[in-house]
Amino acid sequence: MSTENNNSPSVGMISLGCPKALVDSERIITQLRSEGYQISNEYEGADAVIVNTCGFIDSAKQESLESISEALTQNGKVIVTGCMGVNTEDLEAIPREVLSISGPQDVNSVMSAVRKAALIEHDPFIELLPPQGIKLTPKHYAYIKISEGCNHKCTFCIIPSMRGKLQSRQLHDVMEEAEKLAEAGVKELLVISQDTSAYGLDIKHESQLWRGKVYNNSMLDLCKALGELGIWVRLHYVYPYPYVEEVIPLMAEGKILPYIDAPFQHASYDVLKRMRRPASSDRTLEQIQRWRELCPQIAIRSTFIVGFPGETDNDFEQLLTFLKQAELDRVGCFQYSPVEGAKSNQLDGQVAEEVKQERWHRLMQLQQEISENKLEEKVGQTLEVLIDEVTEEQAIGRSYADAPEIDGAVHVYANQELQVGDMVQVVIEEATEYDLIGSEV
């Protein structure tokens, strides 16, 4: 989304090279827009021009140098970034007239140069941090990342080797971002990380002051603080530690949404052991039961992997039995596939592709029946719905039980013209396998 303020400075962007460089350019553009800059398609009139260079082969370097020279001639204020901003030989070839030079993925250096070249007046309604691209979502909801990295060693995953160990943000830093998003009109925050439950473990859950109250850097206290914003707060990637139970009362009290996304991955002890996931179906079922006792309306989503190396017919039957007993609200299922660098690649007992496919179909068919039955129980209830889309015939939104893009929807027939981002009360009149249908109260 671009700002509608025509008086805002504009910046041109030239992106060269591979898809990795393109992603860097997208991140730069996202940050430019989040701070209120306009994106210009022309040299003339732009307050600065960014050239994201490619230094892979000589012809690419030559193209980059030509683009820099053209931008200098046509505009004069040029910021260079990308692969040519690393090696000494390439640096010496770049004209000295450019405003700054930085290497790949260095969004901060690029933005620092942009701000010096074209200062923009601070506006909290468009200057939304941090620059992870979360503002590419619609205006009424946003993702907020509370940590990076992961301390687990799941055999199917390479996240720790790519992103390192757990690195939690300070609670006050998360809350400052959350407040800005709420002030900008965001009505739903989706809390994400690699392991939301582990938030704060790496910084020893140290205490700090926020808005006159003392909070710890912990999942529980972060949820308490977010619950004071008065908007929807949805938890994703919640590893099912026992202490997650402490957060459930906040859901029952309406502080955060009664929704939890907990990736159980499997139910067979042998498969979980091969995955290096410390869990068992019995303990998980007991945990789910406690969650429901504390908050009867809680919606539980999970994901599972079928066809993991060594998964037998009996292991898969245990997974189906678990699903029947757990009656989860939302389920995603993936067929196992090797990921370069994952330790599971070396495990014996690789499962045939046709077996994976057959197991996937059986699991999803079972879950469809479970989903339809659970949604049928909502018929006659009145639910608060956040509108995501409006068509000529109806509005399409989500209840507390539906995360955007991965869960179902509520199709709403309204007696007034609704807008995206509206919160409305809806009487549920019909249920399908995954969606609800109702009328605005």
382-440: which CATH topology?
OB fold (Dihydrolipoamide Acetyltransferase, E2P) (2.40.50)
Average pLDDT for the chain = 87
307: left (phi over 0), alpha (psi -120 to 50) or beta: left
* CATH of the structural domain 134-376, one choice from 3.60.15.10, 3.80.30.20, 3.30.590.10, 3.60.110.10: 3.80.30.20
Q: For residue 22, what pLDDT is reported?
A: 65
pLDDT recorded at residue 131 = 36
Nearest Cα to Cα of residue 130 among 188, 187, 175: 175
* Residue ranges covered by each domain of the chain: 10-117, 134-376, 382-440
Per-residue pLDDT at 135: 46
Q: Is residue 14 scored above 60 in pLDDT?
A: yes
Q: What is the pTM of this model?
A: 0.70
- For 133, phi then psi, to 5°, come to 85, 10
3-class SS letters over 10-76 = EEEEEECCCHHHHHHHHHHHHHHHHCCCEEECCCCCCCEEEEEECCCCHHHHHHHHHHHHHHHHHCC
CA trace torsion 137, 139, 141, 147 (10° rounding):
60
pLDDT digits (tens, 9 = 90+) for 346-389: 889 999 999 999 999 999 999 999 999 999 999 999 999 999 99
**pLDDT over 90, % of the chain:** 52
pLDDT score of 128: 45
Question: What per-residue confidence (pLDDT) applies to 352?
Answer: 93
Confidence of residue 339 (pLDDT cuts 50, 70, 90): confident
Tens digits of per-residue pLDDT, 126-163?
444 443 343 456 788 888 888 878 888 888 887 776 56
Domain 10-117: assigned CATH number:
3.40.50.12160
What's the number of CA atoms in the CB half-sphere (13 Å) around residue 12?
Answer: 23
Closest CA to 330 of 306, 304, 356, 311: 304
